[in-house]
Structure 1
Amino acid sequence: MTTIDPMLRALAHPTRLRMMSLMWAAPQSATDLARELEISHALASHHLRRLDAAGLVELGETRVRKGGTERRYRAVHGTPLSDRGDATALLAETLAHNLRERAARRVHEGPGVTSDVELWLTPADWDALRVRMAALLADLHAAARPPHTPGTVGIGGTVMLFPVHEEPPPPGERPAR
């Protein structure tokens, strides 16, 4: 049985993965996240503590609010997901869940890009395209603004590119979930 490290376990929950996306552009409090995700404050706080314990978020700022202190967290940039081959199935399941939810909210008349691929490339082409895709995703994250900023449009996306075996492994050799 494979042991999953705390970072991957934290990211294996669709709500926590969505929280990471929301905290990318600007710090968010548990209250902000609860409102955006339509969950209770207690549940948002629980998920935020899990992300914090795994080192995926950091305290971005504190604000005095109604006689108390509001703690606002931001995603730790550079969190590695793409090269975590030990958790491909776990991450794929979480990403698929979030993709289904985002697809249900898609603006049908809005432009988009959709593709599903299983291609064969030369190693040199794969390396070059992987680097370009990583740079494009970094640009997308860099352009992100806080949720619902005036003049912005919400964008949903899920990308997972990786090399595959020619044939699926025999049932006894499949990676543990």
Structure 2
Amino acid sequence: MEDGPVPPPTVALLEDPERVRLALSPLRRELLERFRQPASASQVAAALDLPRQRVGHHVRALEAAGLLELVEERPRRGCTERILRARADAFVVDPSVLGAGPTSDDRHAAEHLMTAATGVVRDVSRMQAAAAEEGTRLLAFTLEAEVAFAAPADVPRFTDRLAEAVAAVVAEFHDPDGRPYRVVAGGHPAPAPVPAPASRPPEETP
């Protein structure tokens, strides 16, 4: 018997400051990671080698905030064992929770790019969560490329050419009665590569 298709990972957007606060401590982040698979608080406490009472306190807070959900209850040694799991495979914090941040109408400004990126994170996370609840797949696409400019003056020229090309493709495919899509294109300097940790020389044997 063949296995069915693997469901896509679910993503939940955290846009309430209190829920963000509850989820951001190191231990609670670790608990959310552990509860990606259904488990009881006792099982997770044993895996982390922590007191059951301490883990239980944090688990109750995460459940009350809607970050953990009850899967089942089953009898165990004269009591009821509660099996929980995280409500999503990953949690994304809405950047606007930490403040709106600077804005700019200049499409060559970093603030404009960050505002657009914030909107993408927020909107896609919401729609992804809604699609997961409906059992459907959110159809999206991503284009990535790297270009090396010879001079700073080439950046606005490149941007103008790219805008013209995008406008031409949009005009070709745009249907007034179709489902609207938002296309966001941005660019920023590529970050410097992170150097690999230096390897230790082998120890000499006598």
TM-score under structure 2 length normalisation: 0.39
- Please tell me whether Structure 1 or Structure 2 has the larger radius of gyration of its CA atoms: 2
TM-score under structure 1 length normalisation: 0.45
